[in-house]
Structure 1
Amino acid sequence: MCGICCSVSFSVEHFSKDLKEDLLYNLKRRGPNSGKQLLKSDVNYQCLFSGHVLHLRGVLTAQPLEDERGNVFLWNGEVFSGIKVEAEENDTQIMFNNLTTCKNESDILSLFSKVQGPWSFIYYQASSHYLWFGRDFFGRRSLLWQFSNLGKSFCLSSVGTQTSAVANQWQEVPASGIFRIDLKSAAISRCVVLKLYPWKCISKENVIEECVNSLTQISAVLPTFVLVVANEAKLYLQKPVVPLNMVLPPSIEETHYRNSSSISSTREILQIFLTDGHMKKVVQQFIHVLSVAVKRRVLYLAKDKNMAPNEVLKTCNRKANVAILFSGGIDSMVIATLADRHIPLDEPIDLLNVAFLTKKKTKPTSFNKKSKKSHCEMPSEEFSKTDAADDSSDANVPDRISGRAGLKELQAINPSRIWNFVEINVSLEELQKLRRTQICHLVQPLDTVLDDSIGCAVWFASRGIGCLVTQDEVKSYQSIAKVILTGIGADEQLAGYSRHRVRFQTLGLEGLNKEIAMELGRISTRNLGRDDRVIGDHGKEARFPFLDENVVSFLNSLPIWEKANLTLPRGVGEKLLLRLAAVELGLTASAVLPKRAMQFGSRIAKLEKNNEKASDKCGRLQIAP
């Protein structure tokens, strides 16, 4: 995870040697291990590059990188496959080495088409005055742009700043492909022309149609002095996943879509599906591909070098390198079970579980660390970390209850592992204060009630400040794990949302297929940029196993009836394939938990206005002029 930024000025009066203080502060929070700025000046323009690195693998490599020809590279990504990166190597340096050997634009597109993993980047080609930038196919890494001063300047950045000026709002760079700007030409014409190299579809007709749609949609929200055009050579990036299988069964009897209302136990329904030889094989293939995706995301992490040699074997002294956003629901349970396969046994795993307290916070009082309280309230850092609330039964929100139940399942599967169940309790006062001072600008430019709820919940969960409750004690705890696994992508691909059931009931399997295709197509704008900014604010990196290119391709290749069966009740039919995988992995009660949205499970949706709709513009995210 890194904070990357490039500020471009075409006018001498706007030249600057420094970024604005608030933007620099936000970038530094994303990359606490290294920070550097680099100024590149031409007679027509100036580029100020700023790179802030969160060190996760290989040798710590400060950014921005510059070669002997004056080319500059900023990278916020992870190469999990496609380009060879050895365990001890740094992928920023490897990517830059590959870029400097590219002879033309086709080579650059070929390079980024190969990369499997999340990324955003900024690349300056000095000899041609080109500035290249973009995000991966799913938009798993944030990149924003801001155009201002009537074409005299613009900025690209991982994260924005709070601003009330409508004309200068930050917007997400669309994950439509890679963009290129000719800086010299833009400086002379006072018109910024964005050349788009889009992701390629299967047929040539679809490519043209998709490109036109992308250009129209992007241009609609940009200032008049910014133009978006297709590249003249009609070059494209190769999509990293296979197209969605839209095949429909010749007849309903040929699928697993049969009514199982006569079966009393929901677990029994799942067991019956697993007696089908073909279905069992599909489930095992899914477990394998998802397990590999998790493995890639938990290995080769930089370890804690401050540990004394005699402490290495003392498991009680080890800190978790990996944390999981954990509700005890099916998505986080399967990820935790697979992470347990690949993380060394002497490393704990942090399970981050957040609850929002609907009662007014009472004055914190000290508690005896040896007391056997079942809950604790861990307020913000301004309170003593040994304080807890007198009455915290209010923390028994649905996700806390299912989280504790999930913890017991994981402990039964592997009792040798230290599972740190981190109870993170947030009061209304703390939510309101930190939303206003810290979270608001991270959620932006998204602005709905849903964005507010999920953005705040994920921010507090990933911060990891809470307490551990065991049979013997309650103690304050702060997760220092730099990698946070999240289950996003499972609902979108496996019909996990209630709207999928509505669509199936009204338009059948064909309508359900179209809904899933739409979900994946909009996931970059709906979720991923926001979640990357929110989690990255703690100097931590979000990783998304369900959005691994191979996982998506595998799921895309399956017919819809092998992924979900929405004739079955909630808790079984949605995400059927994942539930069958959970049973195969030895999970029990969590395999049949119905889908519960994070904003309801954590109770943040109950904290303020109960009459709001998720799609409403959220006044709490608006910045007063």
Structure 2
Amino acid sequence: MCGIFCLLSLPSSQFEWDKTVREHLKRRGPNLSQDLTVKGPCYQCLFSAHVLHMRGLLTPQPVQDNTGNVLEWNGEIFGGLPVRPEENDTAVVSQRLSSCNSPSEILSVLSAIRGPWGFVYYQKAGDYLWFGRDFFGRRSLLWKFDADVNTLTLTSVAAYSSGPEQSAWQEVPAVGVYRIDLKAATGAGSVTFEVYPWAHGGNDLSSRSETILESAPGGCTAVMNQSGLVLRSPVCPLNTSIPESLNEKDIPPDSCVKDLEQLLAGKEETDEVSRLIDVLSEAVRRRVQSLPFRVQDSPPPAHDQAGVAILFSGGIDSMILAALADRHIPAHQPVDLLNVAFKLQEPKKQKESSKKPRKHKNKPTDPTTDGAAPRASSPFDVPDRITGRAGLKELQDLNPERRWNFVEINVTQEELQKMREERICHLVHPLETVLDDSIGCAVWFAARGTGFVTEDRDQRPFTSSAKVILTGIGADEQLAGYSRHRVRFKMSGYEGLIQELAMELGRISSRNLGRDDRVIGDHGKEARFPYLDEDVVNYLNSLPVWEKADLSLPRGVGEKLLLRLAAKQLGLGQSAVLPKRAMQFGSRIAKMEDRREKASDKCTRLLTG
């Protein structure tokens, strides 16, 4: 993974670095930094790349080949193009692009790649600048055009500014790849993007053209390429079939865990369940075995240092990732489970009566106890911490030989405010809602991996060394995991639910993935998304919606039903019937701020830095 940056000047001009941007880029790529300038007749391109070494031999970027082409590559190849273990995928992509003599050949290379990517490519023959993001937008790329000096900036991460420039940054839409004719731009004194869009299966491209062309930053123009060329979509269209009849289940809404487990046990383990486990297991394997190539003479890692970490709440999405990672990571290597909690503020009314014994009513879907002696109450015993501990016990039962580092990451309001102002507000930008703030902050602290692990009832400080972080994003979007899916299903049935799921996957790049990549990458670590592996999405898209979810069943069973059946088949227990709990609520970061806010409101805490 890398932090990549490109400044196009028309005409060529002097450039002064924004120190904050450069610092963010260096943190994304701590292993090597390098700049390169290319000058044309009346233009100049400054390339700056900062490498996080993940595969093969350490390869400096930007990569310039013998004919003068320049590549900045922020991505991982998990399929589509052959990459040997000792090879670096940046070098492989550079070699493939160097042999291309036409736009169709470049599109053919990019269409073949399976995995996340963002790139900038200077094609010397013809003076072209190409750039874009993968189909799901799993890697961040931002753009900004400054009309006063005719400069276009492309970067993995920017910096928030409270001045007039603050709204200039935008995420490059993950609708395809873009090409700038630098000679034409020089003559016109303005920038025009040729768009080469992703072909979305059987969907009508013309209906999306207007949205695509409106995506250009102010001062620039976007046009569809005149050749009508497209990138081949890596996934098939969503199955839109609707069942002939809807079988209502007469189940009381207050069913206990035992009832739900019995209900799940009554479901048949079908070929669809086995197939989901197979494709998801392979997606995890690709991501946990594509780790930094270790030089033969380098010392082995310490016994408690993991190469892979998981954003871990103990919920079904992260539990399945942990169970599948256990299949593919050698037993002697630990796995870090990153569990974040924000300090609960004790209400004033309870302080006086805090010494009085309180009766706790265990909710059936929150495993707060595991048969062990009760733990002392902690202000960090938030819901995700409780379910995380229960999930840890399930994993230890599943494989007692594995060292599972359950990292308790505790965040106070003071540290939250400090790091939001210093770092996180810049990383979340240009997104700016309350939801972006909550999730961005929670993921940043979790990915940092600094907390405590407990051994023999003793806590010791611990910081995760893992460069690879698996995240469960994509499961809810494809398997109807959110409460809004139930609302839509109740209002509009399967037809409405299908429309909602199609929208979820279509907007995931702009709502989540760019932000999460910037936030996790700030620690010199790489986010990997097994649920968004192309083969996983293809398989789930091929299934009718009622095979994936049955929202007539209660919470904890009906949503993500197929995944719950997979969890049962993998040997997981109560985690298979935990209802969805959003990260901002499970970690309790949402409780630390103004509770009257709506998730979609503009977040003043981000805008004031």
TM-score normalized with structure 2 length? 0.92
| Cα distance in 2 for residues equivalent to 1:410 and 1:206 | 46
What displacement does 1:308 show? Answer: 7.6
CA 549–267 in structure 1, closer or farther in 2 if over 3 Å, else same: same
Structure 1 residue 144 corresponds to structure 2 residue 142:
yes
Alignment partner, residue 294 of structure 1: 284
**Equivalent residue of 2:518, what SS?**
helix
2:352 alignment counterpart: none
> How far is the alpha carbon of 1:480 from its aligned partner?
1.0
Q: How far did 1:561 drift?
A: 0.4
Q: Which amino acid aligns with 1:288?
A: D
Residue 603 of structure 1 deviates from its aligned partner by 0.4
- Aligned partner letter, 1:301: L
Post-superposition offset of 1:260: 4.7
**SS of equivalent to 2:411:** strand
Residue aligning to 1:499: 484
Structure 1: distance between partners of 2:396 and 2:42 = 63
**Rounded Cα–Cα distance in structure 2 between residues aligned with 1:19 and 1:230:** 33
- RMSD between aligned residues: 1.8
Counterparts of 2:409 and 2:575, CA distance in 1: 21
* Partner Cα separation in structure 1 for residue 425 and residue 447 of structure 2: 16
How do residues 224-239 of structure 1 correspond to structure 2 at under 5 angstroms? 225-239=219-233
The alpha carbon displacement at 1:330 in A equals 0.4
Q: Distance between the aligned counterparts of 2:11 and 2:122, measured in 1?
A: 19
SS, match of residue 148 in structure 2: helix
For 2:9 and 2:406, the matched residues in 1 are separated by 49
In structure 1, distance between residues paired with 2:519 and 2:333: 26
Tell me which residue corresponds to 1:245.
239
1:42 offset after TM fit, Å?
A: 1.7
Distance 1:550 1:95 in 2: 21
Whether 2:166 is the aligned partner of 1:181: answer no
- C-alpha displacement of 1:151: 5.8
Aligned to 2:195: 196
Query: Equivalent of 2:429, from 429, 438, 444?
Result: 444
Rounded Cα–Cα distance in structure 1 between residues aligned with 2:509 and 2:252: 38
Tell me the alpha carbon deviations over residues 24-43 of structure 1, each in whole angstroms, 9 at most, x when there is no partner: 11100000011100011123
1:108 to partner: Cα distance: 0.5
1:396 maps to a residue whose letter is: D
Gaps of 5+ in 2: 347-375
Partner of residue 91 from structure 1, selected from 89, 92, 104: 89
* Contact 2:339 2:407 survives alignment (8 Å): yes
| Between 159-168 and 231-240, the greater mean CA deviation after superposition | 159-168
Matching of residue 426 in structure 1 with residue 411 in structure 2:
yes
Shift in Å, 1:358: 3.0
Q: Does the Cα contact within 8 Å between 2:303 and 2:333 map onto a contact in 1?
A: no
Match of 1:2 in 2: 2
Q: Is the 8 A contact 1:133 1:180 kept in 2?
A: yes
- The answer (yes or no) to whether the contact 1:424–1:464 under 8 Å persists in 2 is yes
CA contact (8 A) 1:151 1:190 kept: no
Q: In the TM superposition, what are the counterparts of 1:443-462 in structure 2 within 5 Å?
A: 443-462=428-447
Deviations 1:170-194 (A, max 9, x none): 1100000000111222122121101
Q: Which residue of 2 aligns with 1:337?
A: 323
Aligned to 2:111: 113
CA distance in 1, matches of 2:14, 2:464: 41
Matches within 5 A, 1:41-52: 41-52=39-50
SS in 2 for 1:395: coil
Change (3 A) 1:307 1:580: farther
In structure 2, what is the equivalent of residue 536 of structure 1? 521
Aligned AA for 1:424? I
1:80 match:
78
**Superposition TM-score, scaled by structure 1 size:** 0.89
Per the alignment, do residues 9 and 531 of structure 1 end up closer, same or farther by CA in structure 2, a change over 3 Å counting?
same
Question: Is the contact between residue 51 and residue 64 of structure 1 (CA under 8 Å) also seen in structure 2?
Answer: yes
Match for residue 328 of structure 1 among 292, 314, 317: 314
Work out the CA distance in 1 between the residues paired with 2:338 and 2:296: 24
Percent identical among aligned pairs is 57
SS of the residue 2:180 aligns to: strand
Give 1:129 shift. 1.2
Kindly provide the CA deviation profile for residues 377-396 of structure 1, in whole angstroms up to 9, marking residues without a partner as x: xxxxxxxxxxxxxx971000
* Mapping of residues 459-608 of structure 1, within 5 Å: 459-608=444-593
Q: Is the 8 A contact 1:353 1:403 kept in 2?
A: yes
Structure-1 residue corresponding to 2:11: 11
Tell me if structure 1 keeps the 8 A contact 2:4–2:48: yes
- Check the 8 A contact 2:344/2:382 in 1, yes or no: no
Which digits, 9 at most, give the CA deviation of each residue in 1:59-113, with x for residues without a partner?
1001000012111000000000000111111100000000011110000111111
8 Å CA contact retained: 1:435, 1:456: yes
Instruction: Kindly indicate whether the alpha-carbon contact (under 8 Å) linking 1:563 and 1:575 is maintained by their aligned counterparts in 2.
Output: yes
CA distance in 2 between partners of 1:451 and 1:265 (Å): 36
